[in-house]
Chain A
Amino acid sequence: GAVVSQHPSRVICKSGTSVKIECRSLDFQATTMFWYRQFPKKSLMLMATSNEGSKATYEQGVEKDKFLINHASLTLSTLTVTSAHPEDSSFYICSFAPASTNEKLFFGSGTQLSVL
């Protein structure tokens, strides 16, 4: 089955630092990607949608200058949390829409970010 690799799985950082999360599809290409985050005991909330080669579209309330998304290729996307603060602590999950099928999205394993 399709595999999405997401790294790191867990990161702890000091307030004010930047953190980069990488998401890579291992056996398929995707023109569209989504980034979600989940706070404890809450639902998965869509942060942004990105298409390869173009700027990401952010959901209302998500700061584009804080959460930088780079959809570098059909198999790689990164999310950088800039100047992280404790309120950014959350579980971040990427998702790819495969170009070869329209049946479902594939999700990464998630990154637990803890900002001290």
Chain B
Amino acid sequence: DQQVKQNSPSLSVQEGRISILNCDYTNSMFDYFLWYKKYPAEGPTFLISISSIKDKNEDGRFTVFLNKSAKHLSLHIVPSQPGDSAVYFCAGSGGGATNKLIFGTGTLLAVQP
């Protein structure tokens, strides 16, 4: 049972444009969602999170949107930079941001110069 899904395994965008990464979930008990960035053979690096009581959280170039009725969240990166190229995982948690995370399958973002 895949509780968190990222249906796009890869995404390619031009430098300076907006990157939109999508994530769907099935578990209604999730109360926190987080996005992590990961390079091969490295641990995930935290990017941004959102509580289920909010619908938007912004941090610099990164904005996360949450649509609870649709059980959908998205990460917007604008403007995209070549250094953003990595695998992005969304994750859901049922007990706050520091409880166990259920990760999606990841989306490989490639930002073309």
Q: 9 smallest A-B Cβ distances: which pairs?
A: A107-B43, A97-B98, A44-B103, A104-B46, A43-B105, A109-B43, A43-B103, A110-B43, A107-B44
A-B contacts, 11 of them at CB < 8 A, read: A43-B105, A49-B100, A93-B44, A102-B96, A104-B49, A105-B46, A105-B101, A107-B36, A107-B45, A108-B43, A110-B41
In the complex, A106 Cα to B98 Cα: how many Å?
9
Q: Shortest distance in angstroms between A22's beta carbon and chain B's nearest beta carbon?
A: 14
Binding site for B on A (CB under 8 A): 4, 6, 9-10, 32, 34, 36, 42-46, 49, 91, 93, 95, 97-98, 101-110, 112
Question: CB-CB < 8 A to B103: which residues of A?
Answer: 36, 43-45
Chain B interface (Cβ < 8 Å from any Cβ of A): 34, 36, 41-46, 49, 89, 96-106
Secondary structure class of chain B's binding surface, majority of residues: loop
- Residues A104 and B34 in contact, CB atoms below 8 Å apart: yes
Question: Considering only CB atoms, which chain A residue lies closest to B9 in the complex?
Answer: A41
Contacts of B49 in A (CB 8 A): 103-104
Residue of A nearest to B42 (CB): A109
Residue in B42, B46, B96 whose beta carbon sits within 8 Å of that of A110 in the complex: B42
Seed contacts A6-B43, A104-B97; 15 additional CB < 8 Å A-B pairs? A4-B43, A32-B98, A34-B100, A43-B89, A43-B106, A44-B103, A45-B103, A46-B101, A95-B43, A102-B96, A102-B98, A107-B36, A108-B43, A109-B42, A112-B41
CA distance A4 to B29 in the complex (A): 29
User: Which of A46, A95, A104 has the most C-beta atoms of chain B within 10 angstroms of its own C-beta?
Assistant: A104
A residues in contact with B104, CB < 8 Å: 43
CB neighbours (8 Å) of A44 from chain B are 44, 89, 101, 103
Among B45, B89, B98, B102, the most chain A Cβ lie within 10 Å of the Cβ of B98
Which residues of A are found within 8 Å of B102, using beta-carbon distances?
A: 46
CB distance from A100 to the nearest CB of B (A): 10
Contact B100 A46 (CB under 8 A): yes
B residues less than 8 Å from A32 (CB atoms): 98-99
Known A-B contacts A43-B104, A43-B106; the reply to A105 vs B97 at CB < 8 A is yes
